[in-house]
Amino acid sequence: MSRALFIVDVQNDFTEGGALGVEGGAAVAEGITRFLREHPDRYDHVFASRDWHDGEGDNGGHFAVDAAPDFVNSWPRHCVSGTSGAEYHPGLDTGLIDVHVRKGQGIPAYSLFEGTTDDGGTVLEALGDREVTEVDVVGIATDYCVRASALDALAAGLDVRVLTDLVAGVAPESSEAALAEVRDAGARVATSAEVSG
């Protein structure tokens, strides 16, 4: 049995100045790096996801092309593969990541579980190969991809915690609702200080 950290979508387009920048995103990137450096033995494996959308087309309706985005199901262009917006935020030390996951390649995708690893496998396969039973979830955005990833981790039978000081959301109300939802579904909610203390 082993423990993993899920770092969800800590990318330039989701941090300040990006196409869908979230306030506090840069601080989350730097906070995750600091936390991992201060506690190098806390996790057996570190997974990190990135939106990696196709540059052409609407990615299954995910990109608003012919109308204004509704910011629920359709969005402005963001995290297009091969662009700087799709890259990890520079505050995140990618040398600490063991498994890289790309998601949303031509289709809408919110959860880390919807992506594929660099070797083309599924996240469930990667978790099984590493005998992961516990995961902590951090990243962006609390009310969308962090929420979806935590719920899918619970559905996969994992013991799940969301670290509230290492996430950033689109809006306070929807972020609080997302944390309440994952808590009600069986996840725990804690700070990084509480889990490392």
DSSP structure string for 108-158: ---SGGGSEETTS-BHHHHHHHTTEEEEEEEEE-IIIIIHHHHHHHHHTT-
**Is there a catalytic annotation at residue 145?**
yes
> 133 — phi, psi (to 5°)?
-120, -20
Q: Helix 147-155 to helix 172-185 angle, to the nearest 10 degrees?
A: 10
Which residue in the list 13, 79, 145, 152 is annotated as catalytic? 145
Question: What is the separation of C-alpha 31 from the centre of its chain, rounded to a whole number of angstroms?
Answer: 14
Which residue in the list 13, 79, 103, 152 is annotated as catalytic? 103
Catalytically annotated residues? 9, 103, 145
